[in-house]
Structure 1
Amino acid sequence: MFIRNTWYVAAWSQEVEDKALFARTITGIPVLLFREEGGSVVALEDRCCHRGAPLSVGRREGDCVRCLYHGLKFDRDGTCVEAPAQQRIPPQAKVRSFPVVERHRWIWIWMGDPSLADPDAIPDTHWLDDPQWRSLPGYIHYDVNYLLICDNLLDFSHLPFVHPTTLGGPEDYAKVQPKVERIEGGVRITRWTLNTDAPPFAAAVKDWPGKVDRWNIYDFTIPAILRMDSGMAPVGTGAQDGARVDAAEFRGCQALTPETEHSTHYFFGHPHNFAVDQPEVTRAIHQAVVDAFDEDRDIITAQQKNLVLDPSFKMMPFGIDAALTQFRWAVDQRLQDEKKQTSPVTQGA
């Protein structure tokens, strides 16, 4: 089951090119994305209402798309406007359309009730295109359920063990108990590691006089959006009190979008606000993040294979799982709420 009434990231802006048809499955639903002549993004169900053929293997005709199985043509709203050899088009000949918003290099899609799609509810990720910050677009495909990836992102104590040569740093990082707070639709996690070594990816792009004070402060909210203030500053320069003296600062933006129950789209950017005129620094940071996320995928995929072998296996909770537990509770509550809203009793009321 997936939460429907929420905004998911469907694609990076550059993935949906002019004149092209772009297909991606989201929450088990095939979706077609394309740009109108004016540049606005359109999202339709990628399944012709006639025989279920994918519209994405059809062709663009102006701001419409024609199915190349039997020739039905649909407009931006999903209405069939032409059907060869049909004098009358049935009024129900439509494909579903989805609300979409393009903002800060991400294309967001609403998979639920269109009347509830409030663009103001889209999380702020302005660092992705803020001229004071630099980053490159990232995407990874996972063959696992998105909640296992959420678990990974909600407990950074794995960093020194899974990412010793990239994002990790020394194992003292794992010994710090983070502060976990419940917020609207998710959790906020605050972790400070003082007087520690800079992690390899940061040491590679900035000279440090010695040890650093390191922070990771992030909100993780439904459906699975991470927005993080992270970085490090020379030890004892007041970072924990709000001073960012000679610091390396980052604003991580990550979004998990379920493809199916067993696969996930992972979008990410890791903007930095230092050395913004040095593209080689941006490339180095991005590559370190890509390498680290590949490491995550390796261990999580191995975990998934192990779990499948014994469906009765119960994970043993530890104190470090507080954020995981609270986020999964928030997801379960939202799913239950949506189920109640769409129940036969509610519909008939």
Structure 2
Amino acid sequence: MFVKNTWYVAAWDNEVTESNLFSRTITGIPVLLYRTSDGALHALEDRCCHRGAPLSIGRREGDYVRCMYHGLKFDPTGQCVEAPSQQRIPPQARVRAFPVVQRNRWIWIWMGDPEKADPHLIPDTRWLDDPAWRSLDGYIHYDVNYLLIADNLLDFSHLPFVHPTTLGGGEDYAAVQPKVERLDDGVRIIRWALNTEAPPFATQVKNWPGKVDRWNIYNFTIPAILLMDSGMAPTGTGAPEGTRVDAAEFRGCQALTPETENSTHYFFAHPHNFAIDNPEVTKSVHQSVVTAFDEDREIVTAQQKSLALAPNFKMIPFSIDAALSQFRWVVERRLVEEAEAERQGKAA
């Protein structure tokens, strides 16, 4: 089950052009994304209402899409406007349309009730196209349930062990107890490691005379969006008090979008605000993140395979699980609320 009434990241903006038909499965539903001649985005269920063939393997005809099975043509709202050899088109001959918004390089889609699709609810990811920050686009496909990936992102104590040559840093970082705050739609995590070794990905692009004070401060909110203020500065220069001297600062933007119950789209970027005129620094930061996220995928995929062999396996909770436990509680609460609202709607 997935939360429906929320904004999911469907694609990077450059994945959907004015000439292509782009298909991606989101929460178990095949979706067709395309742009009309005015550049406007449209999202339709990628399944012809006649016999269920994918519209994405059809063809563009101006601002319309024609199914290449029996020739039905659909307008950008999903309405069938032409059916060869048919004198009358049934009014119910249409495919579902989804609210879709492009903002700060990400294309967001609403899979639930269209009347509740408020664009003001879209998270702020302005660092993705802010000229004062630099990053590269990232995408990874997981054959894993999105909540297991969320668990990984909600507990950074794994960094020194899974990512010793990239994001890790010293093993003392794993001993740091983060502060976890409950939000209405997720959790906020504040993690400081003082007088610690800088992680390898940072020392590759910036030099410090000694150890650093390191921070990871992020919100993780429904459906599974991580927005993070992270970085490091020379120890004792005032970073914990808000003074960031000679710092390496990052604004991580990550989004997990369920494809199916056992597969996930992972969108990410790691914008930085130093050495922004040096593309090699941006490439180095990005490659370190890609390498680290591939390491995450390896361990989490192995975890899912292990759990699949033991459906009754009970995980033993530790104090480091506070954030992930709270986030799963928030998700479960939303699922229950949506199920109840749907039940009441059917009963009315």
TM category, shorter: over 0.9
Structure 2 CA distance, aligned partners of 1:348 and 1:187?
A: 34
Partner of 2:159: 159
Matched, 1:347 2:343: no
Partner of 2:249: 249
Partner of 1:239: 239
**Contiguous gaps of at least 5 residues in structure 2:** none
How far did residue 177 of structure 1 move? 0.2
Task: Show the 5 A alignment for 1:293-312.
Answer: 293-312=293-312
Matched, 1:212 2:207: no
Superposition RMSD on alpha carbons, in Å? Answer: 0.5
Partner of 1:119: 119
Structure 2 CA distance, aligned partners of 1:27 and 1:289?
A: 26
Instruction: Give the aligned residue type for 2:13.
Output: S
Partner of 1:57: 57
Partner of 1:328: 328
Partner of 1:106: 106
Q: How many residue pairs end up in the alignment?
A: 348
Structure 1 CA distance, aligned partners of 2:63 and 2:158?
A: 48
Instruction: Give the aligned residue type for 1:47.
Output: R
* Matched residue SS, 1:342: helix
Partner of 1:187: 187
* Matched residue SS, 1:293: helix
Structure 2 CA distance, aligned partners of 1:252 and 1:153?
A: 12
1:253-273: CA deviations, max 9, x gaps?
000000000000000000000
Instruction: Give the aligned residue type for 2:155.
Output: D
* Matched residue SS, 2:259: strand
How far did residue 346 of structure 1 move? 3.6
Runs of 4+ in 1 over 6 A off after TM superposition: none
How far did residue 109 of structure 1 move? 0.1
Partner of 2:16: 16
Structure 1 CA distance, aligned partners of 2:120 and 2:63?
A: 27
| TM-score, length-scaled by structure 1 | 0.99
Instruction: Give the aligned residue type for 1:201.
Output: F
Partner of 1:273: 273
How far did residue 31 of structure 1 move? 0.3
* Matched residue SS, 1:325: helix
Structure 2 CA distance, aligned partners of 1:4 and 1:61?
A: 31
Structure 2 CA distance, aligned partners of 1:348 and 1:51?
A: 31
Q: Identity of counterpart residues, as a percentage?
A: 76
1:296-340: CA deviations, max 9, x gaps?
000000000000001000111000000010000000000000000
Task: Show the 5 A alignment for 1:313-324.
Answer: 313-324=313-324
Partner of 2:283: 283
1:134-166: CA deviations, max 9, x gaps?
000000000000000000000000000000000
Matched, 1:83 2:83: yes
| TM-score, length-scaled by structure 2 | 0.99
Instruction: Give the aligned residue type for 1:239.
Output: A
* Matched residue SS, 1:253: strand
Structure 1 CA distance, aligned partners of 2:172 and 2:347?
A: 57
Structure 1 CA distance, aligned partners of 2:345 and 2:63?
A: 38
How far did residue 347 of structure 1 move? 2.6
How far did residue 17 of structure 1 move? 1.6
Instruction: Give the aligned residue type for 1:197.
Output: E
How far did residue 128 of structure 1 move? 0.3
Structure 2 CA distance, aligned partners of 1:106 and 1:283?
A: 20
**Contiguous gaps of at least 5 residues in structure 1:** none
Partner of 1:135: 135
Structure 1 CA distance, aligned partners of 2:19 and 2:91?
A: 28
Structure 1 CA distance, aligned partners of 2:336 and 2:62?
A: 42
1:267-307: CA deviations, max 9, x gaps?
00000000000000000000000000000000000000000
How far did residue 98 of structure 1 move? 0.3
